[in-house]
Structure 1
Amino acid sequence: MTRQNLVLAAALCAPALVLAQASPTIYGVVDASVRHTSGLTQAHTPSAAASTGLASGVNSTSRLGFRAREDLGDGLYAIINLETGLNIDTGGTANANKFFDRASVVGVGDAWGQVTAGRQTNMLADAISAVDAVGMRFASFNPNIATAALSAHGLGLEYGAAGSATGSYRLDNSLKYAGKFGPVTARVMYSFGENVGAGSAQSSVGAGLAYAADGWVVSGAYQRFKTSRELALQAATLGAAYQLGSVRLVVNTARSEAVTSATATTVQRVHSAGATWAATGAVDLTAAVYRLERARTGLKGDGYTRAILFAEYKLSRRTRLYAELDRTRWQGGYQGGAAKTGGSGLSGGVVHTF
Structure 2
Amino acid sequence: MGKETVAPRQLPADLDDWKVYDLVSLSTGETVWIKGFMGFSMKRRKIGSFTVVDLPSWDTQTLHLKHVVPPEAVWEELRLNLKADVVGIGIKEPLMRNLFESYSSFFARKASYLRVIRPRILVVEGELDDIWKYKLDKKARNAIRRAERVGLRAEEINPWEHIPDILECNRSKRGVPPSYTNEEALANEIKFLALNFRKFYSIGVFLKDKLIGYEFTMFSNNELALFSRFLINYKYKELNIGELLLWKGIEKAVKEGAKLIQYGSWSRYHPGLDTFLEHFGFRKDFKTLNVYIPLTLVGRIFLMQKRFANRIVNSTVLEHLLQHKIFRNHWYALKRIRVKIT
TM-score, scaled to structure 1? 0.21
Asked which structure has the greater RCO (Cα within 8 Å, sep 6+), the reply is 2
TM-score, scaled to structure 2? 0.22
Kindly indicate which of the two structures has a greater share of residues assigned to helix: 2
Bigger Cα Rg: 1
Kindly indicate which of the two structures has a greater share of residues assigned to strand: 1
